[in-house]
Structure formats: structure tokens, C-alpha cells
Amino acid sequence: MFFVINKIEQAVHRTDGLHNPKNPTNPMVLGIYRTQSRTAIFNVYSKKAYGEFWDDLERKKITARYWTPEMKAFARQKVAEAPLPPFIFKLTIVGWIFVALMIATMGLIVYQELKPPLPKSVEAVAMEKAPVVGDIYFGHFEKYKEKGRPIGAEIGFGWFKIIKVEGSDFYLAKSTEMSKTSKPKEQLNSGDYETETFPALQLSEQTGYNIRFKSADGLTEVYISEKK
């Protein structure tokens, strides 16, 4: 973003009756100025003007430390009479666009914070309910021979039924028809289950789209993706 400061001349006054402190024989002029700062987003005029005395022959500025009391009084008078700036602060077209984008962004953030949450689907609500005896789920199991070594693990896809619940322990039976590869749930039997259950499993994760059971020894895991 560019940034430019301009020195704007407001008026020039003759200083008849005042003596040049640097070169008494040379006439002086008093220039009244105001600064203008410009960026891509805004323009700013200084609220207060200021004066500078110049040697009219040598075209050199007379620094303020050489000013006489009469020069200071004259400068204060003319600065007070300086015309007002056209504005103090003004946004450019780019600035207005930037402000509009910022307001829109803040509004969107506030809306996202205040808007009510989307209603959960029936399926998600069902998945979030605490599992109870008789619940039937679709997913897959992984049974490892050795903890941490998935090679050679037994894997099956299909339906599972909760047979018993004891405190935090869940006993699940798998369907009599399990597939070694993933298949649509409609193609697998969800009505018949084995009499033998998995060892006691604990609920390690539960969301509206995923439930995970895991045995205490870490050798058996059941991943649920849908509830019947």
C-alpha cells in the first residue's frame, strides 16, 4: 500500500514591517501550509495549518529558532486565518470497498457464532444414544493375534447385536453371515447372530456417525458406522 505526504500551500503573505533576522536587507514572505497524507484506502488533511518564513531573495527557509516575537505573533495570526481544509479524513473508493468487506466479514463471524445449530439427522441421533441390549449395528470388526500387529488379523464386515451390558462392558455377537470385504448392508444378513459373543468390549468413541468398541487387551475392536 502506497503512502504519500504532500505539503499543500494555503496562502502567502507579505511581511512588510517585519525584519529578516538572517539578512535584514532581504524581504521575507510567510507561507501558510497544511499537510495531506494519501494512501490507497484514505486521504487525510492535517487539522492545523502551520507557517514558514522564507527569504524572498535567496528562497531559503528561515528556521523557527531565528524568529522574533513579532514574527511569531504574525505567524499565529495568519495561521488562525488560514482556510479550513476540504475535509480531515476521507475514504477512497478502495477504502469504502475495504470497509464494506470488513463489515461483511465481521457480520458473517457474528452470524456463525449466533446462528442455531443445524438439526441432527435421525440417524445421527440414534448413533449418539447409549447402546443397550438388543441394539443392532452395522460395521466391521478387527481381531488381532498380537496387540499392535495388524498383519494376520481377522476382519469381518456385517451386522452386530448387543447381547448383554454389564456396567461399562458390552457383549456383542456378530451376524452368522460376515463378509471379509466391505459390502452394502442390504446384502448381508441382519436377523441371525452367533450364540458366542466377543470378549467384553468398552466404548472408546461415540459420535453421530461413528461408534468404536475396544477390548481391554486391545486385541478386539468393533467399528460401527450405522444403527439399524
Same-domain check for residues 56 and 89 = yes
The number of domains in the chain is 2
3-state class (DSSP) for residue 189: coil
Q: What span, in angstroms and rounded, lies between the C-alpha atoms of 21 and 193?
A: 111
Note whether residue 27 is domain-resident: yes
How confident is the model over 45-66, as pLDDT tens digits? Answer: 999 999 999 999 999 999 999 9
How confident is the model over 83-102, as pLDDT tens digits? Answer: 999 999 999 999 999 999 99
Residue-wise burial string across 56-72, b where 16 or more C-beta atoms lie within 10 A, e elsewhere: eeeeeebeeeebeeebe
Same-domain check for residues 55 and 130 = no
Same-domain check for residues 137 and 95 = no
Domain boundary, last residue among 100, 135, 152: 100
Which of these, 13, 47, 16, lies nearest to 29 by C-alpha position?
13
3-state class (DSSP) for residue 186: helix
Same-domain check for residues 128 and 69 = no
Residue 92 structural domain: 3-100
Note whether residue 114 is domain-resident: no
**3 has a pLDDT exceeding 90:** no
Q: What span, in angstroms and rounded, lies between the C-alpha atoms of 108 and 113?
A: 9
Is the distance from CB of 187 to CB of 196 less than 8 angstroms? Answer: no
Q: What is the pLDDT of residue 1?
A: 57
Note whether residue 85 is domain-resident: yes
Note whether residue 117 is domain-resident: no
Note whether residue 110 is domain-resident: no
β-strand pairing of 3-14 with 169-174? unpaired
Same-domain check for residues 167 and 200 = yes
Note whether residue 112 is domain-resident: no
Q: How many contiguous H segments (helices) and E segments (strands) does the chain have? A: 3, 12
Note whether residue 109 is domain-resident: no
Note whether residue 118 is domain-resident: no
Task: Please name the helix (run of DSSP H) or strand (run of DSSP E) that holds residue 104, with its range, or none.
Answer: helix 93-114
How confident is the model over 112-168, as pLDDT tens digits? Answer: 888 888 888 888 889 999 999 999 999 999 998 887 677 778 999 999 999 999 999
